[in-house]
Structure 1
């Protein structure tokens, strides 16, 4: 990763010998040593996790792997946001290969994949998966980056979902929008600022049918 030695040393010293207590309704526990992790609310936590994730993906060889989906001439096999990772491949065998590489490299640095939270979505028939004796759930849709992705690529479900979410925001604003002491321009600004972004989120990637126009 080419991280300067002095930064590595600073981080190691920062977290060395950490101790904590737990406060309950009955009082506070005795101090105990923290073997892994960072203090609760530590502002370095997201940055350190991103370094971990990048290290794992590089060691897993995902950048050089042939498995993936070609988009605009570029091979993509993983999408990441915080601790959520989506692996993509054109075949079941390729996907399994990518997943096992990530799993192995994660375990080397003390991280474990959550099989319970893992989902598989395929555009065609797929066999049942088991990892370490645990079944992996197969789904026809899931939420990625706040948008609903479906196996058939149909955007109508996401469009309907966005309209419903926008309607909820309108309901929450109902008492303000009905007030006579609030001017019409102010109400328009409120709708544009609070409703439009919710309804139109991710619309750049929608494929709209005639019925939805």
Structure 2
């Protein structure tokens, strides 16, 4: 990723550009438009190919806010699916900051595994 020329790509936060978040095999790319995102994902794909990595098309999606310019993103000859939410590091993310999905997930977890037991008090 360091070989990519993304110093002026992404979103500006306090005068610095944030273009991506990375954790293990998950990458989130930030851009000002779908056309910029398309360039960035294709550049990332080419850089990855040079070292034997590939982007999983089935897991690749994009999400945009109401102010985003553009409608679609093409990656390696096919369109990337748009989504309204995704899970990053175990936390559902969406543009509305709606926590209902996270509450449902936690309620299901508690229903499946039961409430945590209180340690005995002496």
Task: Please give the TM-score of this superposition, normalised by the length of structure 1.
Answer: 0.48
In 2, the alpha carbon distance for the partners of 1:71 and 1:129 equals 24
Conserved? CA contact 2:38–2:73, under 8 Å: no
Conserved? CA contact 1:129–1:136, under 8 Å: yes
Shift of 1:78: 0.4
The within-5 A match list for 1:80-91 is: 80-91=22-33
Q: Which has the higher helix share?
A: 1
SS at match of 1:58: coil
Q: Which runs of 4+ in 1 moved over 4 A?
A: none
Supply the RMSD in Å over aligned alpha carbons: 2.7
Q: Alpha carbons of 1:93 and 1:132: their partners in 2 closer, same or farther (altered >3 Å)?
A: closer
Q: Pick from 80, 83, 89 the counterpart of residue 145 of structure 1.
A: 89
Q: Which runs of 5+ in 1 are unaligned?
A: 1-56, 187-213
Which is bigger in relative contact order (C-alpha 8 A, separation at least 6)? 2
Q: Which has the higher strand share?
A: 2
In 2, the alpha carbon distance for the partners of 1:72 and 1:158 equals 31
Conserved? CA contact 2:85–2:95, under 8 Å: yes
Q: Pick from 121, 125, 145 the counterpart of residue 63 of structure 2.
A: 121
Conserved? CA contact 2:42–2:75, under 8 Å: no
Conserved? CA contact 2:62–2:83, under 8 Å: yes
| Max Rg structure | 1
Task: Please give the TM-score of this superposition, normalised by the length of structure 2.
Answer: 0.78
Give the number of aligned pairs. 120
Shift of 1:104: 1.3
Q: Which runs of 5+ in 2 are unaligned?
A: none
